[in-house]
Copies of this chain bind each other. A is one copy, B any other.
Amino acid sequence: MDIVAQMRKFMEPKSVALIGVSRSGQALDGMSFDILGNLLKCGYQGRIYPINPHASEIMGVKAYHDVREVSEDIDLAVINLPRELVPQVVKKCIGKSVEAIIIVTQGFADANDGEGKQLQRELDELIKGNKVRIVGPNTFGIANAYTNFNSSYTKLEMSKIPIGLICQTGAFFAGFPYSRLIGKGIDLGNSCDVDFADGLEYFEQDDDIKVIVLHIEGMRDSRKFFKKASRVAFKKPIVALKTGRNERAAQAAQSHTGSLVGKDEIWDVALKQSGIIRVSDVEELDDMVKAFCTLPLMRGRRIGVTTWSGGFGIMGVDACGRSNLQLAKLSTATIEELNVVSPSWQNVGNPADIWPTIIVTKQPLLQTGEAAIRNMLHDPQVDAVLCIFSAVTHGLHSELCQCVGQIIKDFPFKPLVFHFYGPFSDKAKAELEERGKTLGFLSPDRAIRALGHLADYSEFRMKF
């Protein structure tokens, strides 16, 4: 069976056995820790078989004492039992021809004791000799908003966003930075069998997914991963948060998912060579997911900055230096256009500081701002534009946002991004993003950082 078909059993199961469901929905201090309850609430349409040796019905669903008592085929089994019981239950599942198993339980390669390692070896033996594939142990498993399937034991918000997540922490299921929503997610946990390469292969062919996000602590077979990743990255952007950068963090990763993290510098180079965009924290991850979902690719690294604040414009230029972007050398025609209405003593350039034009020559605020954006975007020397705009009064940014829809239609192949400052900046950002195809960022620096990554990925795509 090919890997995509194997992964479908996890991602789109037609039937699922839940092994280790308590007779009543478990509840711990008001938090739901109940896989069956969560699955029923999220609207899953497949068949569900709760397995419990002491129950014949749980939460209105017929229960079975043993997985082998189920007469129909089972696509996926989710095991959430004390660790010492897990290998024998995996054996039973194999006996029932189950080919996909999620092991939720902790305390295998992630444990500090010998028993955990021994139990892991038993699992390894079972995987080797059989067709079965295992996700985990130590995992929330799978979430899929498109099939309303979800094996996690805490509540999470799913939504049909075009983002495929492969991670090693369940916290990303409940707390994924992108609006705290999850589209499709695979929590690999310890990743004893199903790994990043398998997940990538599944998302590669998945038309629902436009951007792939990886949270990597470590992996055993990085050669296999990078081979697959550089192929997939050519089709879809891959954003990676690789953690475990220093020695102490590596030790922590060993305790968390039993991962060997590897040298950070090597990861840096290898991710870059594979066309994967490496981010440093959850906010940068969020920025890049939004950028790849929203903005067109860039034809080069030349940035135009138009700004209402000379001081903030300089911050944008500083950031270009950090992201290996060039401040565009504007063409003569653009410079002439920008200077038509500027005061005689100012040579407007890049960044185009339009404040003196407004203050000294009393040009209309909005038209001056819009014209500067259009002049920059029209210039063949410019590959993307950052506009820094004031949101100090109630309405002006709204008028700008209304123009932006048409500007983006007129220049669909160049990214246009914004930073708003002032008391209404959050409101302005929200209004702007309603237009689609553009983004507001919380600092000029974050806007430029996102454009830098976009340029990196665009270059990778153009190599082929």
Contacts and interface: CB of A to CB of B under 8 A. Distances in A.
Interface of A: 28-33, 83, 106-107, 111-113, 115-116, 154-157, 167-172, 174-175, 180, 215, 217, 241, 243-246, 248-249, 252-253, 255-257, 280-283, 308-315, 317-321, 327, 343-347, 349, 351, 353, 356, 358-360, 362, 364-366, 390-393, 395-396, 421-423, 425, 442-446
B422 A315 contact: no
Contacts of A315: 241, 243, 281-282
Contacts of A362: 28
Contacts of A246: 317-318, 320-321
A346 B423 contact: no
A311 B241 CA distance: 11
B30 A175 contact: no
Contacts of A422: 171, 174-175, 180
A389 to B, nearest CB: 10
A256 B346 contact: no
Contact of A171 (B28, B172, B318, B390): B390
Given A28-B358, A443-B283, A313 B175 contact: no
B171 A311 contact: yes
Contact of A345 (B112, B155, B423, B444): B112
Contacts of A396: 29-31
A41 to B, nearest CB: 13
27 contacts: A28-B358, A28-B362, A28-B365, A33-B359, A107-B356, A156-B392, A168-B311, A169-B310, A171-B309, A171-B390, A174-B423, A175-B309, A175-B423, A241-B315, A243-B311, A243-B315, A244-B314, A245-B318, A246-B317, A246-B318, A248-B317, A248-B327, A256-B313, A280-B445, A281-B315, A282-B442, A282-B445
A393 B155 CA distance: 7
Given A171-B390, A283-B443, A365-B29, A245 B310 contact: no
A191 to B, nearest CB: 13
